[in-house]
Amino acid sequence: MKIIAGKHKGRKLASLPGKTTRPTSGKVREAIFSIVADRIEDAAVVDLFAGTGAFGLEAISRGASHAVFVDSDRKGIEIIRKNIAACGENERSTVLLADIAGGLRRLSLSGEEFDLVFMDPPYNRQAVRPALENLASSGILIHGAVIAIEHDKNEKIPEDIAGIEVTDRRKYGKTLVTFMKRM
């Protein structure tokens, strides 16, 4: 897995061995970043269910000002820190070892606001609704913030979360990406 574009283009990223994480393919990541390209420059980014940190690091590589990586897996957090260090982006990165609710609560208490959220939860584990509910109520999203959710094509994305609406959906093989916006 590599950074696709920007300052760190071609930089290899470490990943977790085995099948506990499912890294996003370069094709899907490139498609997502093409869609949100006009939102990245100087953006504050949250990478939820961060895994290897590829989304947040790709955003930093393309000009985001800062990325917060939230994951509940200790080994995943070690990989994220290793990838951040390999890119030399410690100053523009914050890593939180927490479940989504806890991580968003900590961000809410910090008073930070974000422009862009990447969410790549484990497929078909009903993690999207609670994550979106916590995100919507956290107060960390600016008006117009974009949320990109990678999910299995059979997983239904809730459209009844107050203050967040679906703006686009794209299918890439067995993967679906839903884009939402904070209203």
Using DSSP's 3-state secondary structure scheme, residue 69 falls into strand
Q: Quote the longest CA-to-CA distance of the chain.
A: 40
- Whether 10 maps to a domain, the answer reads no
pLDDT at 126: 86
pLDDT at 19: 54
Question: Would you place residue 21 in the very low, low, confident or very high pLDDT band (cuts 50, 70, 90)?
Answer: low
- Whether 105 maps to a domain, the answer reads yes
| DSSP for residue 112 | -
- Whether 53 maps to a domain, the answer reads yes
Question: Would you place residue 20 in the very low, low, confident or very high pLDDT band (cuts 50, 70, 90)?
Answer: low
**Which stretches of the chain are DSSP H helices?**
26-35, 37-40, 54-61, 74-87, 100-110, 128-138
- Whether 31 maps to a domain, the answer reads no
Q: How far apart, in whole angstroms, are the C-alpha atoms of residue 64 and residue 115?
A: 10
Mean pLDDT of 79-84: 98
Mean pLDDT of 55-71: 98
Average pLDDT for the chain: 93
Full-model pTM: 0.94
- Whether 148 maps to a domain, the answer reads yes
Q: Which residues form the domain of 146?
A: 38-182
- Whether 123 maps to a domain, the answer reads yes
Could you report the per-residue pLDDT of 119-158, keeping only the tens digit for each?
999 887 889 999 999 999 999 999 999 999 999 888 889 9
For the chain, what percent of residues have pLDDT higher than 70? 96
pLDDT at 17: 76
Q: How far apart, in whole angstroms, are the C-alpha atoms of residue 100 and residue 98?
A: 6
* Domain count across the chain: 1
- Count CB neighbours of 42 within 10 A: 10
Direct distance between the N- and C-terminal alpha carbons of the chain, in angstroms, rounded to an integer: 34
Kindly list the strands in the beta sheet with 164-172, ordered across the sheet, starting from the edge strand earlier in the chain.
Answer: 93-97, 66-71, 44-48, 114-119, 141-152, 175-182, 164-172
- Give the domain CATH number at 150: 3.40.50.150
pLDDT at 183 over 80: yes
pLDDT at 27: 85
- Whether 131 maps to a domain, the answer reads yes
Classify each residue of 53-71 as buried b or exposed e, where b means 16 or more C-beta atoms within 10 Å of its C-beta: bbbbbbbbbbebebbbbbb
